[in-house]
Amino acid sequence: MATSTPPTPPPHAVIFPFMAQGHTIPLLDISKALSSRGLKVTVVTTPQNAPFICSKVSDCSSISISVVPFPRVPDFPRGCKNTASLPSMELLVPFIAATKKMKQPFEALLKEMVERGSRPICVISDFFLSWTLDTCRSFGIPRVVSHGMGVLPMLFLKPFLLWMSNVKRRRFRVL
């Protein structure tokens, strides 16, 4: 009597968009493209952003959503869990800084995935979530950064940012 082996699970990718629709929508398009090619996709988001994401991927059965809490930040308006809910763009930098407190729940999520045999082949995360690089390295999972913009703006932006970082370094040396 021949024994059958269980089917091999499909490759698994984790997508972690920044909490802004302009950053989320391109990653949801990537999620759908990966899903259509047979990959299992998990989109990581916060409770306030989950309904929007669900509405965009509900037709794809191989895309699931994992919710991690957005941290409470002292002196930060309640309910600000995406950039659309910020009362002022002056709060954008503190908002980005607050996302770093999502590191521990994200690590717990990856650990759970690995333990149940669904180790991601990669994590695609937004460039504002740069802290995900260290987490992915600690799990030995490749991280792909998403800038969410086209190639032409990136051609102009990258050299400018490099130039600015060199200017700042020179300025600090003089002081």
**104: Cβ–Cβ under 8 A, 6 or more apart, which residues?**
none
Active-site pick, 23, 29, 75, 147: 23
CATH of the domain at 105: 3.40.50.2000
- Which residues constitute the domain of residue 98? 12-150
Identify whether 21 is part of a domain: yes
Identify whether 175 is part of a domain: no
Residue 6's pLDDT is 72
Identify whether 6 is part of a domain: no
Identify whether 88 is part of a domain: yes
Residue 136's pLDDT is 97
Residues of the chain with pLDDT under 50: 172-175
> How far is residue 76 CA from its own chain's centroid?
22
Residue 152's pLDDT is 78
Active site residue 12: no
Identify whether 169 is part of a domain: no
Residue 96's pLDDT is 87
> Is residue 13 helix, strand or coil?
strand
pTM metric for this prediction: 0.83
**117: Cβ–Cβ under 8 A, 6 or more apart, which residues?**
9
Number of domains in the chain: 1
Identify whether 174 is part of a domain: no
Identify whether 144 is part of a domain: yes
Q: Name the phi and psi angles at 118, rounded to 5.
A: -120, 50
Active-site pick, 12, 29, 75, 126: 126
Active site residue 147: no
Say if residues 19 and 83 touch (Cβ distance below 8 Å): yes
Say if residues 141 and 161 touch (Cβ distance below 8 Å): no
Identify whether 168 is part of a domain: no
Residue 174's pLDDT is 45
